[in-house]
Structure 1
Amino acid sequence: MSTFAQAQDVSRRLYDAHETYREKTFTHRRFKHSALVPLLDSLSGPLSVSQVGESTENRAIYQVQAGTGSAKVMLWSQMHGDEATATMALFDIFNFLQAENDEFDSLRQTILTNTSLYFVPMLNPDGAERWQRRTVSDIDMNRDALRLQTPEGRLLKRLQQRLKPLVGFNLHDQNPRYSVGKTGKQAVVSFLATAYDRDRNINDVRQRSMQLIVGMNEVLQQFIPGQVARYDDEFEPRAFGDNIQKWGTTLVLIESGGFFGDPEKMEIRKLNFVAILTALKAIADSAYAQDNTADQVIAAYQAIPENNRALFDVLIRNVTTVQKGKPVVVDIGINHNEVSNKGATSFSYKSSIEDIGDLSTFYGLQEIDATGLTLTPAGVYESTLDSAAELEKLDIATLRQDGVIAFKVAKAPKDKFPESLIHLLYRSKLPAQPLSLGQVPTFLLKKGDEIMYRVVNGFWDEDQLSRKNGIVE
């Protein structure tokens, strides 16, 4: 069996077996440092855990070590506190490495015998506590490789300088609205072989990044065909990825994007599990260097389409609006933006109108062809309710049929929102003009007098309530 065929076979079996190793603690991505500690305490077998540093707020930063081989590999996740997909995947990998007496014994042995693995599964625990990108001092750690003003950044450099790993995996999440090139396909996973100088030269260290990425792209195409992209490789002198490549460690950057219908990123977590283990096998048996010449590798890497910003969460095409008494046909781009609820462990969506006009070169993860439809203001219930609880006394279904989808309340709910797809107004009112940039998209789309869509906060289907609609203004 060729190296390519072997990788495809192994990755398929890993994908199919992921449920066996999935860490069941993680059912959503907004977990905190405290959720990791008992899991780390329970690791055993070939895995050893040690504290290697502390965050600004004195939360322990841990390293998990496995394997005895000469090829050192360092993997770190949640450098940005709100990018947790790979953290979940790392704990799935820990479960995989601890297992025994299954169909993967040979693969496990190959990895543990030929590599020494060093994982840092949550590098920015203070940011994770608040579900924010930056550290508690509001510094973007991935722009702190030169000044080293954060203890977390200093720790990362210290580990890289001490271990001198052959390969480093820098694990992130990216904006879920990136597309693969100029297609309408969502970039589920993106890669980058970071540049180490402004001329973007390619030496043996960077070429190894490309070799590993080409291999991971090939296996992921089985599961997400046409949905793998790569970042532009412009040199960023402040970034850890670029500097670690410059310091002699092959740097592979993996970005988890979006997967439609999977807001908690459980499917992308599985893809991380498969891609990382496939790459670790390639490092362990040097398979990444066996099949292609340097020119072939570079060409295959550059053939992966670049990320592009060609997506909206919702794109309404060809809708008629009335402006100063005259009909105007426009497209409307809408994005669903997460708003953290109290404690930052859950969220609701507050959507916004991002663009209006000719959006024919863009795509929507969901689209409405509104040809022949007219956008009109939403109906607002005439009385002010004391609280959202009083909605239970109303015939919401009949009111919605009549186009009434907004309700004024004297007291705003906190984290518990109505079950119906409605817009609550608290100390606010719907604007007279229902279409302007930055506005919450709540309006009706009508064909003559018939209501075709009742759009509330950028949603229009009761089945979409799982997306945590909770708009209160």
Structure 2
Amino acid sequence: MNKKIVVFLIGCFSVTVHSQEVITTKLYETYEEFKEPSLDKRRIKYHQIQPLIARFDANSKYEVQKVGKSIEGRDLSLISIGSGDVDIFLWSQMHGNEPTATQAIFDILNFFDAPSFQKEKSEILAKVKLHFLPMLNPDGAEVYQRRNTLGIDINRDALRLQSPEGRTLKRVRDSLDAEFGFNLHDQSTYYNAELTDKPATISYLAPPVDYERSINEVRSNAMKVIVYMNKIIQSYAPGQVGRYSDDFEPRAFGDNIQKWGTSTILIESGGYTNDVEKQEIRKLNYVSILSAIYTIANGSFNTISIDDYEKIPKNDRKLFDLKIENVTYELLGKDYVMDFGIYRQEVDDEMHNSFYNKSIIVDQGDLSTFYGYETFDASGYKIVPPKIAESYDSQNPMASLKEGIAFVKGSLPETGFFINQPVHPVSQNYELNDFNLQPGVNPTFFLQKDGVLTHAVINGFLIDLSQPLEKQNFRNALIYR
């Protein structure tokens, strides 16, 4: 090829890449203009998205179809926009307790209805047609559980197609014969990017089509788009991208949709520091998905090498909410230096609208190969068992903590399992068991240094006794009846 032509093509590619990076930056900076305000908590329900779907149905830019029903009879809707020849199919919340991308879908739909970015949107919608199925498992979403009402994992129903939700997904995929598919999920917040202390905030996968993990053109195209998306996310969450396990699962929809000819991109939303409701991760979904749509629309993904796909760190699962390391723990008259890894487990309320935390020790001993969202080096500190008292000053709970009191007797509320104070209310006849820390035990104890209590651990939350409680990351204690 003529050297001048090569230089010209490289120059054009550089301009395209630079242009896309500028657009991505603008997408991130202007996100609040498009964020759907009615969806601001993870536990979203079917009834919350119906007015939004109706709004798009009334808008001539969009085409809305009822494409199926859940087991309990809730409508499954497909929202489409664009006039291009390339069909892109995005589906979310196949698992009812994985709603982060569902929120991002409505942000993206708002983006395409807004007056800004007209040039870019015109380019996209002239080249592609987008199809969104925003809540595939509304019955599961209602009770914030992974499985559907039948009790099965829809993502393991691609072969038998026993669930109406799975049959709908298969039927829509086949009718569209989409070139690209986005399979949108949430993963555990305890995944980290392998060999780092960084959470796997976003994990990607181009699902395999066989046990040999063969790479055909369909899967290769998915890999190229993932390489591009990874580059985007690195600008906003550096080091916080993982690569989901590519073990072939013959029953899974992602693997089969890839096999059926749609270049499929799995996006898993994990954890992000101090983002309990995953709103920053929602924003990253919005930016990276729109950026991927843009690179598909203009075809620039074709020039991307898949070599960088394997360079994305694998997912690992070595994160705790709280890791206390190098602390001295006395047992049977002897001192041991240990680490403790703590999960702050979520327990839903009766209506699955909110939750409280019920923490447990997950592991203890040498945890030097593990990490924490919050890590406290307790070298020189000693664990002190908690005390129980007859009363405490609810206006000044820190005073009780400084005395080593973590349990208080008294009259208990008639209902409820938690309290937003840093002490555990207990019944009048409650007695503390012998102090013994083991996996599965609720972590409530104190840390002492040079004979002085310096920190409390109440229900897995670390409290610095020298700082005001309102400035610390504390959520709730437990009520023991």
Instruction: Name the TM tier (shorter chain).
Output: over 0.9
Amino acid at match of 1:408: K
d(CA) in 2 for partners of 1:216 and 1:143?
Answer: 26
Amino acid at match of 2:375: E
**434, 440, 443: which one pairs with 2:442?**
440
What does residue range 112-151 of structure 1 map to in structure 2 within 5 Å?
112-151=125-164
CA drift of 1:433 comes to 2.0
What SS does the aligned partner of 2:159 have?
A: coil
- Tell me if 1:401 matches 2:414: no
- Tell me if 1:238 matches 2:251: yes
Identify unmatched segments of 5+ residues in structure 2.
1-13, 464-468
Deviations 1:24-69 (A, max 9, x none): 1012111100000011111224112221111111111111011111
Amino acid at match of 1:36: I
CA drift of 1:272 comes to 0.5
Name the structure 1 match of 2:36. 23
d(CA) in 2 for partners of 1:206 and 1:445?
Answer: 52
Name the structure 1 match of 2:324. 316
CA drift of 1:460 comes to 2.4
Deviations 1:287-315 (A, max 9, x none): 1003x3xxx31x20000000011211111
Preserved CA contact (<8 Å) 1:73 1:165: yes
Deviations 1:348-377 (A, max 9, x none): 111100001001111111011111111121
Which contiguous aligned blocks of 4+ residues in structure 1 show a shift greater than 6 angstroms? Answer: 391-394
Deviations 1:96-128 (A, max 9, x none): 01112x2x1111111211111110000000000
- Tell me if 1:262 matches 2:262: no
d(CA) in 2 for partners of 1:122 and 1:447?
Answer: 51
Name the structure 1 match of 2:237. 224
Deviations 1:413-453 (A, max 9, x none): 64585342122335865431241110110011112431111
Preserved CA contact (<8 Å) 1:86 1:272: yes
Matched-pair identity in %: 43
Name the structure 2 match of 1:468. 475
d(CA) in 2 for partners of 1:67 and 1:407?
Answer: 62
Identify unmatched segments of 5+ residues in structure 1.
384-390
Name the structure 2 match of 1:171. 184
CA drift of 1:412 comes to 4.7
Deviations 1:231-256 (A, max 9, x none): 12110111100010011111000011
What SS does the aligned partner of 2:324 have?
A: strand
**102, 106, 113: which one pairs with 1:91?**
106
Preserved CA contact (<8 Å) 1:342 1:415: no
CA drift of 1:470 comes to 4.3
d(CA) in 1 for partners of 2:474 and 2:106?
Answer: 26
Name the structure 2 match of 1:53. 68
CA distance 1:413–1:221, change in 2 (3 Å) = farther
Using the size of structure 2 for normalisation, the TM-score is 0.92
Give the number of aligned pairs: 459
What SS does the aligned partner of 2:30 have?
A: helix
Deviations 1:286-343 (A, max 9, x none): 11003x3xxx31x200000000112111110011111111101110000111110121
Using the size of structure 1 for normalisation, the TM-score is 0.93
- Tell me if 1:287 matches 2:287: no
What SS does the aligned partner of 1:25 have?
A: coil
CA distance 1:402–1:39, change in 2 (3 Å) = same
Name the structure 1 match of 2:314. 306
> What's the RMSD between the two structures over aligned residues?
1.8
Name the structure 1 match of 2:199. 186
CA drift of 1:411 comes to 3.3
- Tell me if 1:366 matches 2:379: no
Name the structure 2 match of 1:339. 347
d(CA) in 1 for partners of 2:15 and 2:415?
Answer: 58
CA drift of 1:137 comes to 1.7
- Tell me if 1:449 matches 2:451: yes
Amino acid at match of 1:163: L
CA distance 1:466–1:62, change in 2 (3 Å) = farther
